Chains A and B, each alone.
Chain A
Amino acid sequence: MIRIVGLEKSFKKLEVLKGVHFEIKPGTITAIIGPNGSGKSTIIKTILGLVKPDKGEIFVKEQKLNGGSSYKKAIGYMPQSARFPENLKLDELIGMIKDLRHNPADCDEELFTQFELEKEFLKPVRTLSGGTRQKVNAYIAFMFNPDILILDEPTAGLDPISSSFLKDKILQEKENGKTIILTSHIMSELEELSEKIVFLLDGKICFEGSADLLRINTGEDKLERSIAQIMKGHA
């Protein structure tokens, strides 16, 4: 579904990605993890076309990215945080995003109901709490039934109930055959959701495989400890 070949990127003098290769199969959940500054967000943003790679190629659905934007129709993205135009109301914001996607008839409104966004619908976006904005982000990401979902720290800032709604939604979409990429710092979440882990360290992949494999490789039975182990090994 997504194939990344030899991806390199530096911001000014700082090398963030130093040759990253990996492939994501359709209908799987892949977690990209790593310490702060390891390049997780950069990879995600590169896939989304927000960051232009210095070297390397990315294929989404076997199509090489070359500056076009139509492939994004197949992607739903939930950013870590988002500020929206201050003076728009929530319904106008949603309306705008739908409008940009040419108002499809079959929008997925499940999260809208579950998160009870109805109540916030007519409020200006600037009055919404951080958690509510996060819910809006999640709702927008799933709204268009995309084949690929990219979720950057999806549950950060959500209350436990909403968080579990979202996790259920992720698993459910996976069952529907969707390809999901997420980043997270929450180990339980990773264990719960991800089939495959891509571990980034200093701009390179230092582990790629299932969570079980990671535990076996490191000889730790907790994922968190396995990860810590790897990081120590590198340090």
Chain B
Amino acid sequence: MDGTAKILKFELQDVLRSKWMILYALFFLLLTEGLFRFGGNQSKVILSLMNIVLIIIPLVSIVFGTMYLYHSREFIELLLSQPIERKKIFWGVYSGLAIPLSAGFVLGVSIPSLMYGIHTSQEAGMMGMLIVAGVFLTFIFVALSFSISIRYEDRLKGLGLSILLWFFFAIMYDGIVLILIYTFGDYPLEKAMIGVSLLNPIDIARTLLLLQFDISALMGYTGAVFHKFFAGWTGMIISVVFLMLWVGIPLFSGQRIFNRKDF
């Protein structure tokens, strides 16, 4: 077995037993169950879940990731003294956190959904996309948390930056976009808007979900660029590619720093 896989195996044993991890999965389980029970119809459940996915997953992933890496520091030192390449340790630790976090979310959401028969309903596609978006956001924000906590020794600073980054992407960014729209409203903005939204992983995930939930509204927009982007597969393919970049770039930059870092 490859070194990464070995570390991943033990990370999983560790993380899956963590009470935070269990709480996280339970949170989604109870929330989804509750929404189905009291929420009325399935569309409503999925739309409520969407807000949670876009806000909570990035927050938990980035905070949990930052703390976890600081916490594992001495263990990583021990691993580093073993004959394994640094790269493999990094990937092992990363996937050892991102995979169980995603799994917690996926299981927590899908068990009640399946019990309420989502897979046979019209909303199956929406739910599928929601899960894909949630998993992407987990991988992205754990990657971001790693690239922060590897860069900064000071734990408070690292944690502060993580939360700030979350706040920026989750809330501030769209505010800035709205201001830009009003400022440059006289110019054709479509292309720029699509570009701008691809620079924020939460916005990309949201766009991906809009393609499922709100395609009728998006098709009501006049601009041709929007149409081209949202109709058919173009938008989906571009969004997924950018989400992958958003996983890859922080991860590879994190790994580069990890390779050179002094422990």
Pick from A49, A70, A83: contact of B74, CB below 8 A: A83
- Determine whether A228 belongs to the interface, using a CB cutoff of 8 Å to chain B: no
Which segment of B53-61, B77-85, B127-135, B189-197 sits at the interface?
B77-85
- Determine whether B214 belongs to the interface, using a CB cutoff of 8 Å to chain A: no
On whether A82 and B74 interact (CB within 8 A), knowing A100-B82, A101-B82, the answer reads yes
Report yes or no: B14 in contact with A86, Cβ–Cβ below 8 A.
Answer: yes
- Determine whether A88 belongs to the interface, using a CB cutoff of 8 Å to chain B: yes
Report yes or no: A92 in contact with B13, Cβ–Cβ below 8 A.
Answer: yes
Report yes or no: A87 in contact with B10, Cβ–Cβ below 8 A.
Answer: no
- Determine whether A99 belongs to the interface, using a CB cutoff of 8 Å to chain B: yes
Pick from B10, B77, B82, B86: contact of A92, CB below 8 A: B10
Report yes or no: B262 in contact with A45, Cβ–Cβ below 8 A.
Answer: yes
Report yes or no: B260 in contact with A52, Cβ–Cβ below 8 A.
Answer: yes
Report yes or no: A51 in contact with B262, Cβ–Cβ below 8 A.
Answer: yes
The interface bits of chain A over 48-90 (1 if a CB of B lies within 8 angstroms of the residue's CB, else 0) are 1111100000000000000111111101010101111111100
B22 to chain A, nearest CB (A): 10
Instruction: Please report the C-alpha to C-alpha distance between residue A52 and residue B85 in the assembled complex, in whole angstroms.
Output: 14
On whether A87 and B14 interact (CB within 8 A), knowing A73-B83, A100-B84, the answer reads yes
Report yes or no: B82 in contact with A88, Cβ–Cβ below 8 A.
Answer: no
With an 8 Å Cβ cutoff, the count of chain A residues facing the other chain is 33
Q: Which of B65-94 contact A (CB under 8 A)?
A: 71-75, 77-86
Instruction: Please report the C-alpha to C-alpha distance between residue A48 and residue B83 in the assembled complex, in whole angstroms.
Output: 10
Instruction: Please report the C-alpha to C-alpha distance between residue A139 and residue B146 in the assembled complex, in whole angstroms.
Output: 31
Report yes or no: A96 in contact with B6, Cβ–Cβ below 8 A.
Answer: yes
On whether A52 and B75 interact (CB within 8 A), knowing A88-B13, A101-B82, A101-B83, the answer reads no
Nearest chain A residue, comparing its CB with the CB of B93: A85
Report yes or no: B13 in contact with A69, Cβ–Cβ below 8 A.
Answer: no
In the bound complex, residues from chain A placing their C-beta under 8 Å from that of B79 are 100
Report yes or no: A11 in contact with B6, Cβ–Cβ below 8 A.
Answer: no
Report yes or no: A69 in contact with B85, Cβ–Cβ below 8 A.
Answer: yes
Instruction: Please report the C-alpha to C-alpha distance between residue A221 and residue B73 in the assembled complex, in whole angstroms.
Output: 42
- Determine whether B11 belongs to the interface, using a CB cutoff of 8 Å to chain A: yes
A123 to chain B, nearest CB (A): 13
Instruction: Please report the C-alpha to C-alpha distance between residue A50 and residue B75 in the assembled complex, in whole angstroms.
Output: 12
In the bound complex, residues from chain B placing their C-beta under 8 Å from that of A52 are 260-262
Q: Which of A21-57 contact B (CB under 8 A)?
A: 45, 48-52
Report yes or no: B81 in contact with A75, Cβ–Cβ below 8 A.
Answer: yes
- Determine whether A213 belongs to the interface, using a CB cutoff of 8 Å to chain B: no
Report yes or no: A82 in contact with B15, Cβ–Cβ below 8 A.
Answer: no
Report yes or no: A84 in contact with B86, Cβ–Cβ below 8 A.
Answer: no
Nearest chain A residue, comparing its CB with the CB of B80: A50
Report yes or no: A49 in contact with B260, Cβ–Cβ below 8 A.
Answer: no
Instruction: Please report the C-alpha to C-alpha distance between residue A30 and residue B246 in the assembled complex, in whole angstroms.
Output: 49
In the bound complex, residues from chain A placing their C-beta under 8 Å from that of B85 are 68-69
Instruction: Please report the C-alpha to C-alpha distance between residue A84 and residue B263 in the assembled complex, in whole angstroms.
Output: 16
Report yes or no: A87 in contact with B17, Cβ–Cβ below 8 A.
Answer: yes
Report yes or no: A85 in contact with B84, Cβ–Cβ below 8 A.
Answer: no
Report yes or no: A85 in contact with B83, Cβ–Cβ below 8 A.
Answer: no
Report yes or no: B75 in contact with A83, Cβ–Cβ below 8 A.
Answer: yes
In the bound complex, residues from chain A placing their C-beta under 8 Å from that of B261 are 52
- Determine whether B248 belongs to the interface, using a CB cutoff of 8 Å to chain A: no
Instruction: Please report the C-alpha to C-alpha distance between residue A67 and residue B86 in the assembled complex, in whole angstroms.
Output: 9
Instruction: Please report the C-alpha to C-alpha distance between residue A83 and residue B76 in the assembled complex, in whole angstroms.
Output: 9
List chain B positions with a Cβ less than 8 A from chain A.
Answer: 1, 3, 6-7, 9-11, 13-18, 71-75, 77-86, 259-263
30 contacting pairs across A/B (C-beta < 8 A) = A9-B262, A11-B262, A45-B263, A48-B80, A49-B80, A50-B81, A50-B262, A67-B259, A70-B83, A71-B83, A72-B84, A73-B83, A79-B74, A82-B74, A82-B75, A82-B77, A82-B78, A83-B71, A85-B10, A85-B11, A85-B13, A86-B18, A87-B14, A88-B14, A92-B13, A96-B6, A96-B10, A100-B7, A100-B82, A100-B84
Query: Assuming A69-B83, A79-B78, A83-B72, what are 14 further A-B pairs, CB within 8 angstroms?
Result: A50-B77, A50-B80, A50-B81, A51-B262, A52-B261, A69-B86, A72-B84, A75-B81, A82-B75, A83-B73, A85-B11, A86-B14, A100-B7, A101-B82
List the 4 closest A-B pairs by CB distance, nearest first. Answer: A87-B17, A85-B14, A72-B83, A77-B81
